[in-house]
Chain A
């Protein structure tokens, strides 16, 4: 009976590529809800949580991290083949992450400068998103992801409905929550108007402009925002750097940062 019950649970795998593990930890960080999740899915592969490794195929694969090595390039295809649903979690997996800063630089020079034995380092010239390599069924934004969004996706999958993950601006979260606009009321630099909602307006509610952790929203008008940031006193370098963080390789942010390079 017990065995039957377990096999009825969807098999969940959590995979790591080039990343800091923070997004995987968001799943462990669910704390109150973690038991409910464990009750409904089988953790078939989740090294941050358990040494147990159950062979594929997997019903859901959560993929963290970006592709920065040839080995990773191969491994993601294997995982795709074993996964019914593949969900990327976090800025690394969806946009290449902060490590995509190297996309703008001479990687060989970096390696020569940083490592005592550069000959041991084998890395690709660019850090790329998972979707650049395999078909991705759903993307969860953020650096790190928001645990409520993760639970929403898992909950929606388990019940067979569409998850509610709007592509709208961060501003909508601020206004719904009643957070005072830091850009209008204080003249602070804020990426909220071009950033994807989902974090629960974290920084503006602590009196800081949005850093764009969730990446570009749908059809972001980055050039209009950058022009306004210039009026607020940001110089070219500051504007470039603002668009060049966790989602630096997301096309609209990359394009805007290059305008101020």
Chain B
């Protein structure tokens, strides 16, 4: 078989081309045989969500999204591609840092009680992780793994996870990763990276290995070596995405926020902000969480759970005597100044990757980039 030689060459070059649907199917099968639970984009209830995907035909082929402040709609694309939608409200945070997680349970015994600690850490393979999301994962790594207090279950899931990244060919109406230096091209932190190619030469994926494990997988795929034309087409596609960003974050966002802590504009935002917490929960970097205890009616069992929390709730700033941030203006300011300014001091990077989820999924369409600009104008 002539393919054998191609395969070796492809592996050596770490960049190759696979056929669109057969290639994706083969990749998914290979990962599943390797014991991975493959998670990828699917359509549910009018939006792209991240769920178990076992075959390529479960992916949202031919769909693109229109994202505007407070609005998200899917529609048919002119060119059927697998990944030309940008992203839905969910991020991979859902899997690495689940919304609810049991930390431990305790069972009453004759002598006292016994504590059981279970970690739910499946071996995930994430299919279609975009540049903004890779950056978001890197930020959560800093928070949960690289600090003094390690979130051990996050670490376990993270270490096991395999990442098949994706270069975006188009940007959504609320995307601004380019101005956050967080995309649209994936740079690091992946095992494999895909760029979808459509055109006269048919439908295929440029596939690049970014790790030793990625190389091994790529070597097992039925791939042909990438030609200069393939590489050029892939580069052009990513360029297109960079040029079509729906939004832009002012470069001096950190400074603007730090200088405007007492701006009258906070009152203006508070009039519009619902304090509903959606922005924080869809944000791929927001990491705040709370713990709750529960007990069984018979008093024989107790459990401690960790779940997502938000700086938009009153409970979040509750200390002895009451909540500190009682005004909506204070809560919005807390969120945006942490995200774009004090995050730098805390973790050495911005907490924003420009995915635009907080803009799209805000029920009243508050736009983080517009608020920064308004603050800069001293409105």
Residues of chain A at the chain B interface (Cβ within 8 Å): 33, 36-37, 39-40, 151-152, 154-156, 158-159, 161, 164, 166-169, 171-172, 175-187, 190, 192-194, 207, 218-221, 223-225, 227-228
Proximity bits, B264-282, A CB within 8 Å = 1, else 0: 0000000111111110011
Please, which residues of chain B bring their CB within 8 A of the CB of A156? 295
The reply to whether A155 and B294 contact each other, CB–CB distance below 8 Å, is yes
List the A residue with the shortest CB-CB distance to B323.
Answer: A218
List 14 contacting pairs A-B, 8 Å CB cutoff, sorted by A: A158-B299, A167-B313, A168-B310, A168-B315, A172-B281, A180-B88, A182-B45, A184-B70, A184-B363, A185-B45, A185-B72, A193-B364, A218-B314, A221-B273
How far is A219 from B361 in the complex, measured between Cα atoms in Å?
20
Tell me the smallest distance from the CB of A47 to a CB of chain B, in Å. Answer: 23
For B282, list chain A residues within 8 Å (CB). 175
Shortest CB distance B364–A (Å): 5
A175 touches B274 (CB 8 A): no
User: Contacts A172-B277, A181-B89 given: A36-B310 contact, CB under 8 Å?
Assistant: no
Closest A residue to B277 by beta carbon equals: A172
Give chain B interface residues in 242-274, CB to chain A under 8 Å: 271-274
B272 proximity list for chain A (CB < 8 A)? 224
A-B pairs, 9 with minimum CB distance: A175-B281, A193-B276, A180-B45, A193-B274, A176-B99, A171-B276, A36-B297, A169-B276, A180-B47
Residue numbers of B with Cβ under 8 A of A are: 44-47, 49, 70-73, 88-90, 94, 99-100, 271-278, 281-282, 292-299, 307-308, 310, 313-315, 326, 328, 360-365
CB neighbours of A172 from chain B (8 A): 276-277, 281, 308, 310, 313
Residues of chain A within 8 A of B299, CB atoms compared:
158-159
A175 engages B99 (CB within 8 Å): yes
Using A184-B71, A190-B363, A218-B313 as known contacts, say yes or no to A159 and B295 having CB atoms under 8 A apart: yes
The reply to whether B294 and A152 form a contact with Cβ atoms under 8 Å apart is yes
CB-CB nearest in chain B for A169 = B276
Interface pair B73/A185, CB less than 8 Å apart: yes
Q: B277 touching A171 by the CB < 8 A rule?
A: yes
Contacts A33-B297, A175-B282, A180-B46 hold; do A167 and B71 have CB atoms under 8 A apart?
no
A175 touches B278 (CB 8 A): yes
A161 touches B72 (CB 8 A): no
Complex contacts, B363 vs chain A, CB 8 Å: 171, 181, 183-184, 190, 192-193, 225, 228
B315 x A180 contact (CB < 8 A): no
Q: Are B273 and A224 in contact (CB under 8 A)?
A: yes
List the A residue with the shortest CB-CB distance to B361.
Answer: A184
- Bound-state CA distance A36–B298 (Å) is 7
| Contact pick for A180, options B89, B281, B326, CB 8 Å | B89
Q: Is the CB of B297 within 8 A of A207?
A: no
Given pairs A179-B45, A181-B47, 15 additional interface contacts (CB within 8 A): A166-B313, A169-B274, A169-B276, A171-B277, A172-B313, A176-B100, A178-B94, A180-B45, A180-B46, A181-B89, A190-B363, A194-B276, A221-B271, A221-B275, A224-B274
